[in-house]
Amino acid sequence: MLETDLKLIEKESEKNMATAKTVADLDQVFYKYLGSQGQIKQLFKKMKDLPKDKRKEIGVSINRLQEKIVNLIDSKKKELLKEHSAKTMKAEAETLSFDLPKIGHLHPITQTIRMLNKVFVEMGYSIVDGPEIETNEYNFIRLNVPPNHPAMDMQDTIYIREPDLLLRTQTSSVESRVMAGNKPPMKLVCPGRVYRNEKVNKSNHFIFHHYQGVAILEKVSLKDLFGTLNLLFKRMYGPKVVVRYRNKYYPEVEPGVGADMQCFSCRGKGCPLCKGVGWIEMGGAGIIHPNVMKMAGIDSKKFMGFAFGLGLDRWVMAKYNITDIRTLLGGNLAYKYYENENTL
């Protein structure tokens, strides 16, 4: 009889604990089975009616059942408390409100890089980064710069260990590395900081930023290059932007062009920023030279490419009407945050 009661109590207690939704429900389960008047206590009282040789066996079984119920209740209580804590935290978090004062914003250079990246990602380009300490091979040789080129003199290049190790003068060095380690087709842009030993003035700095782009496909032309740059100018400065392209020599490309934008400060009239000519050079571009393709192991008869390098700081200055490049690295905290930019 007691053996049957033990099995029924075990089965019933497990069912009651499984359906318990709160700690209060568990307390009721505890009192029902383990309380002073609970079913386990009643089983112990009934043992006096058992034969002596049965009491020990049944007593052990009752103790085991009691221990099992205690452990089940403790485990279920921890589970319910954890669920309750999670629900409480979520409910409190949903009601919290923060109205902290704005104490900073992204630098204009960072904002401009993100705008440019957005345009090129939409056109299917990848964004690539590379080392600022570069070798002569990737910074000059693989870009078809001849050994006697003025850019390799101490007047332009800042060397760490001449002539092999230097601070990169252009992010075209990233282009060199990508072309050497990957097979076309490829479309990529490389924004980053560059260094040249130049005199600092309103429009030049020895530390500045460069935005290199390259597309190598089976068929490209100057028309594709101009279309890409024209789209970029309009997305950044609006449909009325005035741009011109001039023939210009760059060792990396042939033919090469310089991309100029009408001076945003004087609107073409001439001022100190544009050195009185009414135009600001925003970058250089052209069709990638066959020598560059050959050094990268790319068959120039099968693939063609164009490349462009933008003077990123000047794009920043034109975007935010900053007339002195030196202020970009001067720690000026007074730059306005252009949160509602809508030209993109």
Q: Show pLDDT as tens, one digit a residue, over the chain (344 residues).
A: 667 777 787 788 888 777 887 878 878 878 787 887 777 777 777 777 777 777 777 777 878 888 888 888 888 788 878 887 777 777 656 555 666 676 777 889 999 999 999 999 999 999 999 999 999 999 999 999 887 777 666 558 899 998 889 999 999 999 999 999 899 999 999 999 999 988 887 777 888 999 999 999 999 999 999 999 999 999 999 999 999 999 999 999 999 999 999 988 888 888 888 888 999 999 999 999 999 999 999 999 999 999 999 999 999 988 988 888 888 887 665 555 444 444 44
pLDDT at residue number 86: 74
pLDDT for residue 105: 78
pLDDT value of position 15: 81
Where in the sequence is the domain holding 323, given as residue range(s)?
A: 108-329
Q: Is 341 inside a domain boundary?
A: no
Residue 260 has what DSSP assignment?
E
- Whether residue 184 is found in the same domain as residue 53: no
76, 114: one domain: no
Question: What is the distance of C-alpha 85 from the center of its chain?
Answer: 34
- Cβ neighbours for 161, distance < 8 A, ≥ 6 positions apart: none
Quote the pLDDT of residue 97: 61
Q: Which residue among 95, 121, 144 closes a domain?
A: 95
Q: Are residues 232 and 116 in the same domain?
A: yes
In a domain, 171, yes or no: yes
Task: Specify if 303 maps to a domain.
Answer: yes
What region, left, alpha or beta, does residue 278 occupy, with left being phi > 0 and alpha being psi -120 to 50 degrees?
Answer: left
329, 334, 342, 341: which is closest to 104 by C-alpha? 334
Say if residue 156 is in the same domain as residue 237: yes
Total domain count, the chain: 2
Both 126 and 262 in one domain: the answer is yes
- Would residue 22 count as lying in a domain? yes
Residue 177 lies in a domain: yes
Write down the pLDDT at residue 96. Answer: 56
Same domain, 91 and 114: no
Same domain for 233 and 265, yes or no, is yes
| CA gap 136, 173 in Å, rounded | 9
| pLDDT value, residue 178 | 95
Same domain, yes or no: 195 and 143: yes
Q: What is the CATH number of the domain that holds 276?
A: 3.30.930.10
| 285 within a domain of the structure (yes/no) | yes
- Do 163 and 81 share a domain, yes or no? no
Q: Are residues 290 and 227 in the same domain?
A: yes
Residues 158 and 219 in one domain: yes
Instruction: Judge if 171 and 259 occupy the same domain.
Output: yes
Rounded CA-CA distance 340/111 in Å is 12
